[in-house]
Chain A
Amino acid sequence: SSELTQDPAVSVALGQTVRITCQGDSLRSYYASWYQQKPGQAPVLVIYGKNNRPSGIPDRFSGSSSGNTASLTITGAQAEDEADYYCNSRDSSGNIWVFGTGTKVTVL
């Protein structure tokens, strides 16, 4: 099975840009999706595919990918963006979902 590795925590000043990365071999074959989770709430999909945002997700969220690394960028971070972020993708078999270890984003 594949693993997806994320930095445990990052911080960003209000209005600045932060990039969260997700590394794993399966990302060479499959796009990552990104989920935002606030305390006590269910995860919310924020980015999927090459760089797609579901309806209602602000355009300050964007995604990219290169080799075995997927990235989520928040451009102009807001206080409400403070949350845990998880990447996820298929594993190498294509049948199993794998979640990243999660990154806690703190907005200063």
Chain B
Amino acid sequence: EVQLVESGGGLVKPGGSLRLSCAASGFTFSSYSMNWVRQAPGKGLEWVSSISSSSSYIYYADSVKGRFTISRDNAKNSLYLQMNSLRAEDTAVYYCAREVGYGPLDYWGQGTLVTVSS
């Protein structure tokens, strides 16, 4: 059974940093591109970042470029999102999601809440 479990969310002050993790199981993690998607309270889904299976290709939404860094450790079946210079507008539930080939995001974790507030 495919499982994605996010962790690392919490309350952080504006300008602070946080590192999210996503632990994957039930599939060959190293064969799939992975994504982070966020959802602000009461708002829609916003794609944040993606990383290819071997970390060769990395992309970011303009809203986080230069502040967030996506990475992965295939030996540990884990995906990460380092978030720096956090702003109030980064407050959201952050989901990790598996990408099928060049296609859809077929499995999602349950999300971890990040709150940026003083």
Interface residues of A (CB under 8 A from B): 1, 33, 35, 37, 41-45, 48-49, 54, 84, 86, 88, 95-102
Q: B37-69, CB under 8 A of A: which get 1 and which 0?
A: 100000011110010000001010110000000
- With contact pairs A1-B62, A48-B103, A48-B104 given, residues A42 and B95 touching in the complex (Cβ less than 8 Å): yes
Nearest 8 CB-CB pairs, A to B?
A33-B104, A48-B104, A97-B47, A42-B108, A102-B44, A99-B45, A95-B59, A45-B106
Complex formed: what's the CA distance from A96 to B49 in Å?
8
Query: Do A44 and B35 have beta carbons less than 8 Å apart?
Result: no
Nearest-neighbor residue (CB-CB) of A97 within chain B: B47
Contact B108 A96 (CB under 8 A): no
Within 8 A of A (CB), among B85-118: 95, 100, 103-111
Q: In the complex the two chains form, what is the Cα distance from A54 to B104 in whole Å?
A: 10
In the complex, the answer to whether B95 meets A86 with C-beta atoms within 8 Å is no
Q: Are A42 and B62 in contact (CB under 8 A)?
A: no
A35 touches B45 (CB 8 A): yes
The answer to whether A97 touches B35, judged by C-beta atoms less than 8 angstroms apart, is: yes
Known: A42-B111, A97-B47, A102-B44. A33 touches B59 (CB 8 A): no
The answer to whether A42 and B109 touch (CB under 8 A), given A1-B62, A48-B104, A95-B59, is yes
The 6 sampled A-B contact pairs (Cβ below 8 Å) are A1-B62, A42-B95, A43-B45, A43-B95, A48-B103, A88-B47
Report if A44-B108 is in contact (Cβ < 8 Å); known contacts: A95-B59, A96-B61. Answer: yes
B46 to chain A: which residues have CB within 8 Å? 99
Query: Chain A residues with Cβ under 8 A from B47's Cβ?
Result: 88, 96-99
